Amino acid sequence: MPVAIFLPIFGELAEPRLVADLAAEAEDAGWDGVFVWDHMLYREPVSEIADPWITLAAIAMATERVRIGPMVTPLPRRRPQKLARETMSLDRLSGGRLTLGIGLGGDPGGELTAFGEELDAPKRGRMLDEGLQLLVDLWSGENVLHRGEHYVAEDAQLHPVALQEPRIPIWIGARHGFTRPLQRAARYEGLFPVNVAQPAQLTEVLGEVNEHHISDGPYDVMIARPAIEAELASVWFDAGATWWAAGFDPFTVDAAQVRTAIANRPS
Contact between residue 183 and residue 214 where contact means Cβ atoms under 8 Å apart: no
Contact between residue 239 and residue 199 where contact means Cβ atoms under 8 Å apart: yes
Q: Range of 196's domain?
A: 3-263
Q: What angle do CA 22, 26, 32 make, to 5 degrees?
A: 135
The CATH number assigned to the domain holding 63 equals 3.20.20.30
Q: What does each of the 267 residues of the chain score in pLDDT, given as a tens digit?
A: 899 999 999 999 999 999 999 999 999 999 999 999 999 999 999 999 999 999 999 999 999 999 999 999 999 999 999 999 999 999 999 999 999 999 999 998 999 999 999 999 999 999 999 999 999 999 999 999 999 999 999 999 999 999 999 999 999 999 888 889 999 999 999 999 998 999 999 999 999 898 888 777 889 999 999 999 999 999 999 999 999 999 999 999 999 999 999 999 998
User: How many domains does the chain divide into?
Assistant: 1
pTM above 0.85? yes
